Amino acid sequence: MTAPLRKPFPGIEPYKTGRLDVGDGHQLYYELCGNPQGLPVVFLHGGPGSGASSQHRRLFDPARYRILLFDQRGCGRSTPLGRLDENTTWHLVADMERLRALLGVKRWLLFGGSWGATLALAYAETHPERVAGMILRGVFTGRRSELDWFYERGANRLFPDRWEDLVGQIPAAEQDDIVAAYRQRLTHADRAVRAAAARAWTNWESATVMLRQARTSEHGNGGAVSDATIAFARIENHYFYHDLWLKEGQLIRDAHRLAEIPGVIVQGRYDVITPAVTSWQLAQAWPKADYRMVEGAGHAFAEPGILHELLEATDRFARAP
């Protein structure tokens, strides 16, 4: 008899919230939840540009974990919203070190999915001595092949109708570089232009994130587009336009720096946003990674099989000596 899939832990509220001035005009929102004496873990949200939510707190046993969630530069509750200046992968790695020092911990567990996995890898390969372990989901490493799959050729063959909605916003002469074409619009002086581009950009991602039930974006095809949605699209596009400030293949090439770090990789078999080949290649280069392929699942952390494996992983680390 198959055991039932696990559900998230009950909802909790932070015992502390704050803002950290990281310089460059940026202030990060952060919150601490769970047990102040528990195992320190930092949750790294996706996007880039989305922000952490109350649902992410529920991935960890609050009796065992000291849970840090924060909104990365320019997104969520951090300020200024949508700012692109001084907002790169390496700024965020430095921000994580500031947050670790704020907590007063020597080592912590990293938890990240999609872009959050990218940031976790960038941090861990820079500061391996600060990492007690990693739980990664839907691994994205920023290689040109991964970006091309989602924005040039690959995913569009599985979702031609949704792809048409994305490229339909762009004149034919600009369609050879969708990321660059959207950058022009997402950085336009006219908010209406930015809003229309943000709607199309986020709708494409939302339509492909789950296997069995396509989600619609925050606004669908009607209604006002919020500043938060524009900020998300601007920041994500900004990172992709700049190849995430990573050298080609850097994160897998430097995976040898993870040699002493235990980890769990959770991957949906039918993940369209971050196909399984990337996480598989990472696992081959990282011997201490426990690779969990989830059948019948796409990209989202909330898909039942993926959520089950993530909860199992957080419990495993909490029980470790």
Residue 116 CA to residue 136 CA, distance in Å, equals 8
User: Which pLDDT belongs to residue 221?
Assistant: 58
Instruction: Enter the DSSP assignment of 79.
Output: B
Residue 163 CA to residue 161 CA, distance in Å, equals 5
Statement to judge: residues 159 and 270 lie in one domain: no
The model's confidence at residue 215, banded by pLDDT at 50, 70 and 90, is very low
The model's confidence at residue 213, banded by pLDDT at 50, 70 and 90, is low
Statement to judge: residues 159 and 217 lie in one domain: yes
Number of domains the chain is built from: 2
User: Which pLDDT belongs to residue 1?
Assistant: 53
Assigned domain for 46 exists: yes
Statement to judge: residues 46 and 90 lie in one domain: yes
Query: Tell me, what CATH number does 110's domain have?
Result: 3.40.50.1820
The set of residues, in sequence order, having a beta carbon less than 8 Å from that of 225 and lying 6+ positions away, is: 195, 196, 198, 199, 219
Assigned domain for 36 exists: yes
Strands 263-268 and 289-294: parallel
Last residue of a domain, one of 244, 276, 291: 244
Statement to judge: residues 45 and 136 lie in one domain: yes
Assigned domain for 194 exists: yes
Last residue of a domain, one of 244, 261, 283: 244
Catalytic site residues? 114, 271, 299
Statement to judge: residues 151 and 138 lie in one domain: no
Cα–Cα distances (Å) from 72 to 36, 43, 151, 245, 297, in that order, read 22, 11, 24, 16, 27
Which residue has better confidence, 211 or 159?
A: 159
Assigned domain for 314 exists: yes
29-38, 155-164, 209-218: least confidently modelled range = 209-218
Range of the domain at 128: 16-143+246-319
Contact assessment for residue 313 and residue 266, using Cβ atoms and an 8 Å cutoff: yes
pTM of the model as a whole: 0.96
The model's confidence at residue 222, banded by pLDDT at 50, 70 and 90, is low
Summarize pLDDT for 32-77 with one digit per residue, the tens. Answer: 999 999 999 999 999 999 999 999 999 999 999 999 999 999 999 9
Statement to judge: residues 129 and 260 lie in one domain: yes
Assigned domain for 6 exists: no
Summarize pLDDT for 124-159 with one digit per residue, the tens. Answer: 999 999 999 999 999 999 999 999 999 988 999 999
- Give the pair of three-digit tokens for residue 263: 């980890």
